[in-house]
Chains A and B, each alone.
Chain A
Amino acid sequence: MKTPLHIGFIPLVDAAALIIAVDKGFTAAEGLDVTLVREVSWSNVRDKLNIGLFDAAHLLAPVAIASSLGLGHVKVPIAAPFNLGLNGNAITVSPALHAAIMSEIEGDAVDPMATALALARVVAARRKSGAEPLTFGMTFPFSTHNYQLRFWMAAGGVDPDEDVRLVVLPPPYMVDSLANGHVDAFCVGAPWNSVAVDLGVGHILHFVSDILVRAAEKVLAVRQKWSEKNPEVLAALIRAAAHAAEYIEDPGNRAEAAHVLARPERLGVGAEVIQRTLDGRLKVSPDGARRESSRYLLVGREGAGRPDPAQAAWLYAQMVRWGQTEMRPDALRTAMAVFRPDLYDDAMGRPGATSASSAIGAFAGPAFDPGDIAGHLSAFTIGHWKP
């Protein structure tokens, strides 16, 4: 008798480890009978996980933290024992904004400081001419996309709350919104950046890995209480996801993985565009220019699967910086305790595994120190938090 589980996901490439775990039989091999439920909004995933309609979910890492802190919604402690992906997002801009940034840029367009400074000049020129502020789309208030966009533009001197508009858009609406001028740019996960480029309505300006070398993106989330009641089921689920991640990272399996992910009931987009993002070889411009990065999306390699509490601390620091919550030592501890390397180690039978590099590797500001968030944030002039 297999253990039945209901797991929610949003159709994005970074749900790959979860989908492959189920569709290639890794969960069945661990004695689990998983039903994947495709969802249309992060709010739904969060609520259905919170009230127990889902046993586990593919979840934005910051939502797992916000839920545990009771920010934006009811407080339900969440445990994240597996990291479904590191990085994987990109910033895509409209052809018009791309041209404007390129005409202002001094230096290399791959350098996020150069583009952020150019953006600041574009913003200043627009203000002078009385043009409407630029609008940037992102996926959720508590999202990596929100924080990555803000971190990038603020480094160039653009205040994300004063100088531009940031709006939430569901990922499937991003491309249309860029095409019809509702937004000038967006930050979203795969495959939507590539879809915009293929349709000729956007240029990929940055991979998020240009901004942060190592950024926790989506986690496998369960209710903390559920994790305590079902330790063996959870361990089996972690192992299945880890094996699936390993499978995906083998270049020989990429085509098959992309094919499985492309199915209508999973991501429902072309296998080719999925494989591009798994391989980190992206078409970045409608003229066909390509860019490769070994860091575009990490599913399992470089210890990506093992949750790192320092990543949770960085995300909490962003919530503080942008006024979503106050700085409190107990809240920081709660946030860090959401990421559970101990559960990962137990499941994988690797007690005391040494953590992979916990560096965030941001392109601007001092190196991140989870032990001194106040000191870290005081290095940034733009933001809501004041020392």
Chain B
Amino acid sequence: MSAESSPKIVIVDESPIRAAILEEGLREAGFTGVVHISEMQSLLARIYALDPDVILIDLENPSRDVLEQMFQVSRAVRRPIAMFVDQSDAASIQASVDAGVSAYIVDGLKKERIKPILDLCISRFNAFSKLQDELDRTKSALEERKVIDRAKGILMKVKGLTEDEAYVLMRSTAMREKKKIGEIAQSILTASELLK
């Protein structure tokens, strides 16, 4: 089968960035036959047309249940599909579920050929979520910065403080009330809205 040269891999993922990260990793590792499906309409028909050896799907995708249908006896299925993971692969399932990805393998592909694909997939998915977390943190830090600046402005205007004094006042209030300065700043914005 074609899998002897380079297995055909289909990535089912609605996130174009994550799919690109994974695709790049697979290509670097020498897997040239990689196709990305981002459109979930008629998913099974698309997959049958591509006739892949391995299908990778993210766990946030409700269409994972659609893929489970490939295990069924059906005229539409040309090649039997098997889960790569078997009873002895509890650690592999755990690692892939933790990373947020699942792999479906067509029967006939040797286990030792699948392992590097799955490992790469898991590490790229983990790298993506780390990136996402960092992005989220940066975003919320930026948001907090804006809130603090606006609260400072209000204190300066209402209490006639300098910028530094306004900041020190929020900081000490936060420490006294065991809250984050962002929370204090938000309370000031809310209060000022109410008192308008």
Contact = CB atoms under 8 A, between A and B. Distances in A.
A260 B87 CA distance: 40
A168 B87 contact: no
Given A161-B74, A324-B73, 20 more contacts: A40-B62, A41-B62, A42-B68, A43-B64, A51-B97, A53-B97, A72-B71, A74-B85, A74-B86, A140-B68, A141-B69, A141-B71, A161-B75, A168-B68, A170-B62, A170-B65, A170-B66, A173-B63, A182-B42, A384-B73
Interface string A154-194: 00000001000101111011000000001000000000000
A323 interface: yes
Interface residues of B, number: 30
A40 B100 CA distance: 12
Given A43-B102, A47-B97, A73-B83, A141 B64 contact: no
Contact of A140 (B60, B65, B74, B86): B65
Nearest to B42: A182
Contact of B68 (A43, A74, A75, A165): A43
Bin the interface of chain A by size.
Answer: 20 to 34
Contacts of B63: 41, 170, 173
Contacts, number: 72
B42 to A, nearest CB: 7
Contacts of A74: 83, 85-87, 93
A35 interface: no
Nearest to B90: A51
Interface string A43-72: 110011011010000000000000000001
Nearest to B95: A51
Nearest to B69: A168
Interface of B: 40-42, 44, 59-69, 71-76, 83, 85-87, 90, 93-94, 97, 102
14 contacts: A40-B60, A41-B63, A42-B65, A44-B59, A47-B93, A53-B97, A74-B86, A74-B93, A141-B69, A161-B74, A161-B75, A168-B65, A323-B73, A324-B72
Interface of A: 40-44, 47-48, 50-51, 53, 72-75, 139-141, 161, 165, 167-170, 172-173, 182, 323-324, 384
